[in-house]
Amino acid sequence: MLLIAGLGNPEAKYAKNRHNIGFMAVDALARHFVFPPYREKFHALVSDGMIGQEKVLLVKPQTFMNRSGVSLGEAASFYKLSGSRIIVFYDELDLPPGKLRMRQGGGLAGHNGLRSIKAHMGADFRRVRLGIGHPGTKDRVTGHVLGDFSQDDAGWVTAFMDAICAHAELLAGGEDATFQNRVHEAMQPFLQPPDTDSGEDS
């Protein structure tokens, strides 16, 4: 069993927030791999199915972000899962929009969801950091994170979810570095700055 969790806040008003991109990723996986409808368990919405050769439990904690560890701790304990069998998708301010970075263990970077998970089950889990960009100044962070993605964001967010799903079998199979690289390659058109040296009028 592999546990793949997305972090977010459960109420409808938060659904399109940047902070909820972890939920968005798990929902995209559920659709792509045709998982059954979510059911309630472990203070979360869960669904189980297959990604490649791996049996996977998708988890969306319903405890609000700052208590995500309550849900994941219960699920991990129930299935007796170690850190290498737990993957958490979450928003990352310090990565550009559409950038993905893998990590196992490490610091919390001030993320309340990660802090809660560490308190309930330790920090040695696999992390999929989903870049949402930084607003530029500390006083704008809360509004940025809890703000909705704009219409201008729709293209890269959709491409990001598609790339994650297209290469998710690598992630499920433990090939984290290859998964990261494949998603990065798919997102190149959205990550590269405009070419200003073409010599053509803009």
Q: Hey, which residues are catalytic here? A: 19
Give the span between the Cα atoms of 135 and 114, in whole angstroms. Answer: 21
| Six-digit token string for 83 | 């850190």
> What is the DSSP pairing of strand 126-131 with strand 86-92?
parallel
Secondary element (H or E) of residue 120: helix 112-121
Q: Which residues contact 46 (CB under 8 A, 6 or more apart)?
A: 38, 39, 40, 57, 58, 59, 60, 75
